[in-house]
């Protein structure tokens, strides 16, 4: 292997490691923001259903698990609650930022 290629591989390793680390940090930050949004919405669901939803959200470890809980959270929000519309908007915005445009039903 030539010295030029060897240097290029070394340079790629030096550049790639911080980028991979930054990517993991960005993914984790996005997950935490989404989970916080879900926790705030679940906090406004009362009774045993709210308790179960809060527990399930707390136990999630990735965005896919939160995606699967979206319908349960949205259906459980009380229509007359003052923050329901805000929770719906926040969930829509955060899910769209991670998964692309979605329609929450």
Indicate the angle between helix axes 63-76 and 84-99, nearest 10 degrees. Answer: 160
Task: Give a yes or no: residue 32 inside a domain.
Answer: yes
Give a yes or no: residue 15 inside a domain: no
Q: Which structural domain, as residue segments, surrounds residue 41?
A: 28-99
Better pLDDT: 99 or 56: 56
- Within-domain flag for 6: no
How does residue 17 score in pLDDT terms, banded at 50, 70 and 90? Answer: low
pLDDT band for position 44 (cuts 50, 70, 90): very high
pTM listed for this prediction: 0.76
2, pLDDT greater than 60: no
Instruction: Kindly tell me if the per-residue pLDDT of 8 is higher than 60.
Output: no
- The count of structural domains within the chain is 1
Token readout for 26 is: 């960005």
> Is the model's pLDDT at 102 over the cut of 90?
no
Which structure tokens are listed for 45? Answer: 């669901």
């Amino acid at each position: 292997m030539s010295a030029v290629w060897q240097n290029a591989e070394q340079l790629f390793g030096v550049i790639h490691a911080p980028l991979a680390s930054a990517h993991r940090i960005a993914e984790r930050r996005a997950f935490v923001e989404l989970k916080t949004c879900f926790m705030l919405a679940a906090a406004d669901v009362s009774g045993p259903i709210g308790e179960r939803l809060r527990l399930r959200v707390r136990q999630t470890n990735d965005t896919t698990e939160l995606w699967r809980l979206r319908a349960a959270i949205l259906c459980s929000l009380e229509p007359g609650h003052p923050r329901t519309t805000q929770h719906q908007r926040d969930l829509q915005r955060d899910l769209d930022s991670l998964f692309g445009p979605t329609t929450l039903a």
